[in-house]
């Protein structure tokens, strides 16, 4: 017999776990949560320092790759997405960045009414348990634990912050509060030494609720539609196709790749695209899969004079000791993602708010852990974070098992290329400050010979990697290319919503887990018909002379 639920949520990722918690909270609604992956209890997921393993493990991640990217020398870029309880919050780098206040004001300007910064801030606070306690900007009673790892014990973290100040930039003690711009400590979603994924924060405490059903190993095939109304979901478990019906709503939280693909599999999308893929058109909605955005980054690497970097901890014995300490006490190097200082700066005068982000790492090693510098080194990950290039997620066929085509068109827009030139030149200037004199011992990458625009552009095309922040492929708004409205309802289809990072109108300046969780917290109130949380009218610190200056030590 086909089961009936009030709500069906597709995807137990950063958004889906939040919704499962909030929609079952009052005990009045029966909720089904579908997830293709399985348990997130692996030590490699729970131990923060092991972050590179789950992302590159087929069991825990969809190992998507893009089509050849024409502006990156036709490279096919890796685009992993979580396939496990917690979704990408169980495989990500655990960096907690909300984004700049202006990023959310920009959403409202793009037609997402009620999603400006002051409207979103109460939901950031609601989600969070900030280790230093509550204030105007930070929450202390939410499910999501946020801290600074090992409090920057390694001196290289503080050297990076000091170098930024010496280069003429401001310091910010909390980039998630009033002032994003500047250099300071970085925050991570870790609680009591363990990864604090959306699954751990929102799902683990409620798994025994009688009104919540969780089915893992369930791959959604399509949304069941009748007369442009979502009736339920067809899904496959152990090779058998099943269906469930929704009395109230179906909510897609399958992420920026999965949600547009599932809409297209269901016959919702651009008419010509669907017909070409052999899918019967149920509703022409041309924006589905369009507007795709992502962050790129590369590693600026230097040799280190002193043997204080993580490159000295990569042997089997050292790794074993780190792992043993973590298992016994949940502290030490195993209890951090190692990105403990950071910065947000503007690439040039005339840029109103930061568009470059830094993650500092006291090691010279690839993000996936596959290649490390032979010796001691350190690096800073840097990227131009407000790209103007746009791509698409496009259904390849009517077969749900066939991955969609993913094309970001990275660096298509000339301003994105200029942004990365600024990344190279500004970063060099920062690392050459005297704060690094006792540590810096020569540039590994890009290399001192990379100087001209042409040389930088060629290096960037070959060296940049995705920062794993795909988003915006089912954008929120009211224009012809919008997929959902400001209530997260799919345009033209009743009883169907999308709630995940795909509905961002534009990509924020920062990592995406925090704003995705915020979006789900806020959407839950929309779904339940609750009055939105009160705006806080919190002050935002901005550079008043942004049109004339690129940096100032005091903002």
Active-site residues, by number, are 469
Please state, in angstroms and rounded to a whole number, the distance separating the CA atoms of residues 498 and 514.
17
> Considering all CA atoms of the chain, what is the largest pairwise distance in Å, rounded to the nearest integer?
71
Please state, in angstroms and rounded to a whole number, the distance separating the CA atoms of residues 140 and 191.
13
Please state, in angstroms and rounded to a whole number, the distance separating the CA atoms of residues 115 and 475.
13
- Give, for 252, the enclosing helix (H) or strand (E): strand 240-252
Please state, in angstroms and rounded to a whole number, the distance separating the CA atoms of residues 441 and 432.
10
Task: Kindly state the DSSP code that residue 3 receives in the 8-state scheme.
Answer: E
Contact between 254 and 243 under an 8 Å Cβ cutoff? The reply is no
Question: In sequence order, which ranges of 24-69 are alpha helices (DSSP H)?
Answer: 43-46, 52-55
Please state, in angstroms and rounded to a whole number, the distance separating the CA atoms of residues 150 and 48.
12
Distances (CA, A) of 162 to 129, 170, 432, 434: 28, 10, 12, 9
What 3-state DSSP class applies to 414?
Answer: helix
Asked whether the bond before 446 is cis by omega within 30 degrees of 0, the reply is: yes
Q: Helix 117-127 to helix 513-528 angle, to the nearest 10 degrees?
A: 100
Please state, in angstroms and rounded to a whole number, the distance separating the CA atoms of residues 511 and 506.
13
Q: Is 95 annotated as a binding residue?
A: yes
The token pair at 246 is: 């929704």
The total of other beta-carbon atoms located within 10 Å of residue 319's CB is: 15
Contact between 464 and 424 under an 8 Å Cβ cutoff? The reply is no
Distances (CA, A) of 460 to 75, 379, 384, 509, 530: 12, 16, 11, 20, 47
Q: Is 93 annotated as a binding residue?
A: yes
Q: Is 250 annotated as a binding residue?
A: no
Please state, in angstroms and rounded to a whole number, the distance separating the CA atoms of residues 358 and 383.
7
Contact between 473 and 269 under an 8 Å Cβ cutoff? The reply is no
Annotated binding site: 84, 92-95
Annotated binding site for FAD: 84, 92-95
């Amino acid at each position: 017999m086909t089961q009936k639920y009030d709500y069906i949520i597709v995807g137990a990722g950063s958004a889906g776990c939040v919704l499962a918690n909030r929609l079952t909270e009052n005990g009045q609604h029966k909720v089904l949560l579908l997830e293709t992956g399985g348990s997130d209890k692996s030590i490699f997921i729970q131990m923060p320092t092991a972050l590179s393993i789950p992302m590159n493990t087929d069991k825990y991640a969809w190992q998507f790759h893009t089509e050849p990217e024409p502006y990156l020398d036709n490279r096919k870029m890796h685009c992993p997405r979580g396939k496990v309880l917690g979704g990408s919050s169980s495989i990500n780098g655990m960096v907690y960045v909300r984004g700049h206040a202006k990023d959310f004001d920009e959403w409202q300007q793009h037609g997402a009414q009620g999603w400006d910064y002051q409207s979103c801030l109460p939901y950031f606070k609601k989600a969070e348990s900030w280790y230093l306690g509550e204030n105007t900007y930070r929450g202390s009673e939410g499910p999501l634990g946020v801290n600074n790892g090992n409090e920057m014990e390694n001196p290289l973290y503080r050297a990076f912050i000091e170098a930024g100040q010496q280069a003429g930039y401001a310091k910010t003690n909390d980039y998630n509060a009033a002032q994003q711009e500047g250099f300071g400590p970085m925050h991570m979603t870790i609680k009591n030494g363990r990864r604090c994924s959306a699954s751990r924060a929102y799902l683990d405490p409620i798994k025994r609720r009688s009104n919540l059903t969780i089915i893992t190993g369930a791959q959604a095939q399509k949304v069941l539609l009748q007369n442009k109304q979502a009736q339920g979901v067809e899904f496959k478990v152990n090779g058998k196709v099943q269906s469930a019906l929704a009395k109230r709503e179906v909510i897609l939280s399958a992420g920026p790749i999965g949600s547009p693909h599932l809409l297209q599999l269901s016959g919702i999308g651009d008419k010509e695209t669907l017909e070409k893929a052999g899918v019967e058109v149920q509703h022409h909605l041309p924006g589905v899969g369009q507007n795709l955005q992502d962050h790129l980054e590369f590693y600026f690497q230097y040799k280190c004079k002193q043997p204080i970097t993580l490159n000295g901890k990569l042997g089997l014995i050292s790794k074993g000791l780190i792992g043993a300490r973590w298992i016994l006490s949940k502290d030490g190097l195993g209890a951090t993602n190692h990105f403990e200082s950071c910065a947000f700066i503007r690439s040039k005068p005339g840029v109103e708010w930061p568009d470059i982000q830094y993650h500092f790492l006291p090691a010279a090693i690839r993000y996936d852990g596959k290649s490390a510098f032979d010796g001691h080194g350190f690096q800073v990950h840097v990227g131009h974070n407000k790209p103007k290039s746009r791509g698409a997620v496009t259904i390849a066929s009517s077969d749900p098992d066939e991955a969609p085509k993913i094309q970001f068109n990275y660096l298509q827009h000339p301003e994105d290329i200029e942004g990365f030139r600024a990344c190279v030149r500004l970063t060099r200037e920062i690392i050459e400050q005297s704060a690094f004199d006792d540590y810096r011992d020569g540039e590994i990458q890009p290399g001192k010979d990379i100087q001209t625009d042409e040389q930088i552009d060629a290096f960037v095309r070959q060296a940049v990697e995705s920062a794993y922040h795909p988003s915006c492929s089912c954008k929120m708004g009211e224009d012809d290319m919008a997929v959902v409205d400001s209530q997260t309802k799919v345009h033209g289809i009743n009883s169907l919503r999308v709630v995940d990072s795909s509905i961002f109108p534009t990509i924020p300046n920062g990592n995406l887990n925090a704003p995705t969780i915020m979006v789900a917290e806020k959407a839950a109130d929309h779904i339940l018909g609750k009055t939105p949380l009160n705006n806080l009218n919190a002050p935002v610190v901005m550079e008043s002379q942004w049109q004339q200056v690129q940096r100032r030590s005091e903002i």
